[in-house]
Structure 1
């Protein structure tokens, strides 16, 4: 803590307050301290940050703990009923049930509320699903509870993670489109929304570079779509497509960061009288149930959602049994699903 204080020109007391999670310093100071602590390796110290963990009752062993807490913040559409997250939750539940372990679900985004709920004395560990704020993850890390993250990672927190192989799968999907003759591809999503979206953008960009094609500039507004869960971006995208049609610059393939975006684009294209796949191909990612029911049916990438949930639980048990193992980033293979929304290129309009 003294090193961090010297690095930032703060008192050791202020650093202690910022790292304790109990307040007493401004949010700006807390953010500076957390960033500096991460850069100096503080959170990676096995006997450093977690030394202040809550004491566990010595008579409660791992064998007696029968529950795993599943933390999935209460963000719209990130619920058990969603076509994506719900399948992951099913996989987690299935694996825990097979091991005769209980599951406690907490849907709460604020770290102070989460910490009030936690009873580390009775928990084997935690599986975090989706986006979780750094402050919450830091508090869990401080308690010393084993933690596995699904579809999310945080540079501040050394922990095991489980993802789909987003980059390689998107690269294969784009290579497929290029192989069909598409030369003008365009990516749609918010590359700052999640690590998965960024990895999918990376796969898209790598595929185009390998084929000698240009990917759009990172400042392109279609890479910063707002409200991806709710579809707030629809008017902006519809206007963008209409301008491209008017200027004879409509791409021949629209590559979407997930199926939800792709399905909304299919609706917008239908409203504008643009035929899919005759005039433009559209692809998604995730293979949610609605992807096969759309008109036309959606070409996508099948993410093994339940298997990812299974694997997260297995990795948590491995971590509990072997706490000294190196942390792992596990990538589950995802397969391409060829449907009616993609076709050979060359039928689109000329690019200026």
Structure 2
């Protein structure tokens, strides 16, 4: 089968502009906005356009050599690389092992360091950031002019790929299941300003309630905002008392932003004379190994922590070879692990 000739009209149809605008752009004429010009040039390159006829395909950068190269990994602090740091330690382990498997090297720094002086390392391939990184750090990293992949953080001020768990979809499916069991009095527990992940999980919870026509009015508050710190239990207890813990208005299910909060919630419920799930259902998010021996076993969304780390390395290598493609936000879907901590609501 003969290859279809890539003409200006084909490019125009792909981009959604006129052939005249494409012609002006490809002939370097004035009168085309910079955003449209860049889109046309990118599309022409990917389609293999040539004034002399069709090319063999998109012209990609030369193969980037990762073996014997180095990847710069930026952590909020050095504790993130400890496997005892149950969430980020596993993510970091995934990054480290996958870099080793590719026979490359790794340099670890923290965002607390002074980045006004660049890390001077030959054969630096790119940068992976782990967790929340402030804008000043991201701007400093962008001066390296290397591909950047961020984990669990969306870099809005620089060009970078980002990788997240499907936080919104995971909590939405979890909440859908609770509603299917008959729960109507549900409460989301977590500080939505703590991280992008916590905020997305709140949005997923809210979406599920809206689909089920469960109102989110001020008089029927559906979120319990608590600081994610060592004073969490004291703050929860205060909120419990305000919610009238033994009243019929008390929630029948708590949808928690992560497993740490969920486990503390279960303990506090027991201290107040309520059992999980007999009286109250509780769900988490993360599927932490340290929680798997505790009772009741927690219903949670499984976060593939090492997979996230490996995916960041693979994405960085791909991006190093494909610098012209637009930045992408990648979602990794986690399965729900149904365990003992949920049940149909108890009649009150």
Specify the TM-score bucket, using the shorter chain as the normaliser.
0.7 to 0.9
Range moving further from structure 2, 75-84 or 90-99: 75-84
Q: What does residue 134 of structure 1 align with?
A: 135
Q: What does residue 233 of structure 2 align with?
A: 234
Counterparts of 1:78-97 in structure 2, within 5 Å, are: 79-97=82-100
**Mapped contact 2:187–2:224 kept (Cα < 8 A):** no
User: Over the residues paired in the alignment, what is the CA RMSD in angstroms?
Assistant: 2.7
Range moving further from structure 2, 212-221 or 235-244: 212-221
Say if 1:217 and 1:83 are closer, same or farther in 2 by CA, change over 3 A: farther
Q: What does residue 71 of structure 2 align with?
A: 68
Q: What does residue 285 of structure 1 align with?
A: 285
Structure 2 length-normalised TM: 0.76
Cα deviation for residue 67 of structure 1 reads 1.3
Q: What does residue 160 of structure 1 align with?
A: 161
Supply the distance in 1 between the matched residues of 2:142 and 2:219 (Cα, whole angstroms). 34
1:325 aligned onto 2:319: no
Deviations 1:65-124 (A, max 9, x none): 5211111111877854311111111111121111111122223425xx244462254421
Range moving further from structure 2, 234-243 or 261-270: 234-243
Bigger Rg, structure 1 or 2: 2
Deviations 1:5-47 (A, max 9, x none): xxxxxxxxxxxxxxxxxxxxxxxxxxxxxxxxxxxx9xx9xxx
Counterparts of 1:1-352 in structure 2, within 5 Å, are: 66-74=69-77, 79-110=82-113, 113-116=114-117, 118-119=119-120, 121-215=122-216, 217=218, 223-226=224-227, 228=228, 230-243=229-242, 244-347=244-347, 349=348
**Mapped contact 2:170–2:336 kept (Cα < 8 A):** yes
Supply the distance in 1 between the matched residues of 2:66 and 2:277 (Cα, whole angstroms). 56
**Mapped contact 1:263–1:294 kept (Cα < 8 A):** no
Higher helix share: 1
Equivalent residue pairs, number: 288
Supply the distance in 2 between the matched residues of 1:234 and 1:152 (Cα, whole angstroms). 27
Deviations 1:184-204 (A, max 9, x none): 100001111111111110100
Supply the distance in 1 between the matched residues of 2:82 and 2:110 (Cα, whole angstroms). 8
Q: What does residue 38 of structure 1 align with?
A: none
